[in-house]
Chain A
Amino acid sequence: MDNTITSPKNGLKIKRFTSPDHPKVNFAQAEKGIKAWLTTIDHKKIGLMYLGSIAFFFFIGGLLALTLRLELWTPAKTFLDADAYNQVFTLHGAIMIFLVLVPSVPAALGNFFLPIMVGAKDVAFPRLNLLSFYIYLAGAFFSLYSIVTGAVDTGWTFYTPYSAQSSTSVVSMTFGVFVLGFSSILTGLNFIVTIHKLRVPGLTWGKLPLFLWAIYATSVIQILATPVLAITLLLLIMERTLQIGIFDPTLGGDPVLYQHFFWFYSHPAVYIMILPGFGVISEIIGIFSKRRVFGYWFIALSSIAIALMGFLVWGHHMFVSGQSTLSSIVFSMITFLVGIPTGIKIFNWVATMYKGSISLRTPMWYALMFLFLFTIGGFTGIMLGTLSVDVHLHDTYYVVAHFHYVMMGGMLVAFLGGIHLWWPKMTGRMYNEKLANLAAFLIFVGFNMTFFTQFILGSKGMPRRYYNYIDQFQSLHQFSTVGSWVLGVGFSIILYYLLHSLGKKGVIAPKNPWGARSLEWITQTPPVMENFEYTPVVIHGPYDFHKPIAEFEYGIEGSDSHGHEHHKDQHVNIHSVNV
């Protein structure tokens, strides 16, 4: 194969660019010092700053979880009093959802990899990206400041009337969440424009890695849903400060209306949280089965379907709230339908593995864990969506188990899989795989110990958010608590070997340790500041493992200033050319 080709369709002069695994000056070396990082507009550094922050908040949220599980060791008070217990679970939920899960994959991995995957030098609005990060920190500050001023004991859902009347620092925390919403919106905005406008020549929508379809769908939800949360929290703050009487029944308002507005965001929010995870799983399963992901368009479009249909089911959180029977029936019906696109994905991922060349590396272990744990979570969601069943199970540990299976067993596991997939590319280092696999195993065991038990507790009638419980539940609670310790050990091991890989004794990683094909694996490790030293041109799809790597290294010198709008939506086909 020649090193230079001219595509007749659009006159691009394409040639092959080979580069050594490691650049002379990677992005972290290009600008040095703390100030450089804090004022950077480089999406890769911003992504890593998010990753560090998210890991930190996850650690805090995790400590809170261990605390509340420890309190539940005995049926009555163990070491916390009831008010403190309420504050602990509220803070645990709010931190995990708003500071960890909502940003997680998009802000950390999406920021780092989206521009590289589309071949661009950065996101569409780099300075807005940095602003997003600082808004995130500001929101985190206000939320956590509430701990100092009296904490919050309403649950992360801030239901009225209690949230309008509680003497705790509801305003500080809800204002913090309000601010965090803007970070989410601006990130989503940036990603949508980047995917539309900054794709390189040849990168048609049908050649996008499925991770990007997932990020795109997530961004759409962020744009449409988050503003409604913003106005809801603003109204709640007004309710507390001015007593406007919209949501508080003692002032003539309707508390169920609060729930409608809150869940209009918060249900799509769970899809904001899980869709990027789905995207990561698509990448991992494709790469580690060495096969094209089965049903590419089904997976791509099912992400969009989930994003849109996810807006029509929020009332399934309110079946016993007092809403009309009619709306309960409608919401239940649509809830059943929204499970279908997700089910399609699960089948497609399994089909991808069939007759594939499976490579059981750490990311793949996480993907397999995901398939098992998320499926349980998803099924139990449908069970909760059944009206009559929900009357029994609502507000019990069954719900707690369900959402931990989808959010932690699903989303967090996928996040860990993504970190382990892309760690070599981001840092240029490889982690100790034996320890990584051990940690994954401990997390799997600890997770099931902690949360499968809670399905049983819930169906036996243990209510959620309860500080004390009847004696008969004690052994199950204790088993669950021991599980949480196993989880804690697993996460500690991950922290250890990841940090160790960055140190002097860390192993240097090659630029494409997994033999993948999407653009981030073609560029150097860690990437240079501008991601590529040329403008890539995309000829094949991201899962064309059977095509030689050489055919993915084509590009044009400099930047494509000639009719970019047309090139990126046209296929570039080297076999139609005489070389």
Chain B
Amino acid sequence: MAHSSNSTLAHHFVDSEQQFDASKMGMWIFLVTEILFFGGLFATYIIYRAWYPDLYIMASSQLDTSMGAINTGILILSSLTMALSIWAAQHNDRKKTTIFLAVTIICAISFMIIKYFEYTHKFHLGIFPGANYTFTGIDHVKAPQFFSIYFMMTGLHGIHVIIGIGLISWLIFKNQKQAFNSSYYTPIEIIGLYWHVVDIIWIFLFPLLYLID
């Protein structure tokens, strides 16, 4: 491929393909760090559950399985629409790209709204992380630990969803300014990779937290 004079090619890359591959490789490496970051929380969960299996069974009853399942469905849908936005960009369809990105954001916001209802319901019962835990409905001395882990895992995940909403909004903004086309859609590709990892983390959170019976 001849040396491109287009402005999206940075001066230190020889061609767009090298730049695209480098960007993807960079994002995959970053996602490795995300997996290990969340992984620490999964490790905490596993270790405490191995110590107190009964607690986990009891505590899980406080988590609403249907809300969790709906949220799982929403995130899977958002992953689909994210991938479809890339498909649209590859076909040079600017309008569809924006639409699919927008639907992804709507899914993400819906996810957060459901999370909001879940959290406020818990607060209403006195289930808070750490020191403010006052709920008496679970007869186990380590009950606060379960919910600390629950809030940490879902809270950190929620923060990543919000960051995703910000990033995808930026993509829509850039797309509307005609920054992307079938030759250059790298930011959509790499933010898409991030978003899928956010989905994958929830795919594991859901059974581990909600479906313990």
Q: Do A and B have CB atoms closer than 8 angstroms in the complex?
A: yes
Contact B18 A564 (CB under 8 A): yes
Contact A242 B129 (CB under 8 A): yes
Q: Which of A371-397 contact B (CB under 8 A)?
A: none
Interface size range of chain B in the complex: 35 or more
The binding surface of chain A is classed by DSSP as: helix
Q: Can you show 23 pairs from A to B with CB atoms below 8 A apart?
A: A115-B12, A124-B12, A125-B22, A126-B10, A189-B26, A189-B30, A192-B25, A193-B25, A196-B25, A197-B18, A198-B13, A223-B33, A225-B36, A228-B37, A231-B41, A235-B40, A235-B44, A244-B130, A244-B145, A246-B149, A261-B40, A261-B43, A558-B3
Q: Which of B1-17 contact A (CB under 8 A)?
A: 1-3, 10-15, 17
**How many residues on the A side are at the interface (Cβ–Cβ under 8 A)?**
47
CA of A559 to CA of B145, assembled, Å:
58
Interface, chain A (partner B; CB < 8 A): 115, 120-126, 128, 185, 188-190, 192-193, 196-198, 223-228, 230-232, 234-235, 238, 242-246, 251-253, 257, 261, 530, 558-561, 564-565
Interface string of B90-118 (1 = CB under 8 A from A): 00000000000000000000000000000
Residues of A within 8 A of B15 (CB): 561, 564
Residues of A within 8 A of B43 (CB): 261
Contact A197 B21 (CB under 8 A): yes
Contact A252/B12 with A192-B29, A193-B25, A227-B37 known, Cβ cut-off 8 Å: no
CA of A533 to CA of B38, assembled, Å:
45
Contact B130 A228 (CB under 8 A): no
CA of A257 to CA of B148, assembled, Å:
15
The residue on B at minimum CB distance from A535 is B14
CA of A244 to CA of B36, assembled, Å:
21
Besides A193-B25, A224-B32, 5 new A-B residue pairs in contact (Cβ under 8 A), listed by A number: A123-B12, A126-B10, A189-B29, A228-B40, A245-B130
Q: Which of B54-96 contact A (CB under 8 A)?
A: none
Contact A120 B12 (CB under 8 A): yes
CA of A490 to CA of B17, assembled, Å:
51
Residues of B within 8 A of A560 (CB): 14
CA of A228 to CA of B36, assembled, Å:
6
Residues of A within 8 A of B47 (CB): 257
CA of A252 to CA of B146, assembled, Å:
11
* Interface core residue of B1, B12, B142, B145 (most chain A CB under 10 Å): B12
Contact B145 A246 (CB under 8 A): yes
Contact B142 A252 (CB under 8 A): yes
CA of A530 to CA of B22, assembled, Å:
19
Contact A564 B40 (CB under 8 A): no
B144 CB-CB contact with A under 8 Å:
yes
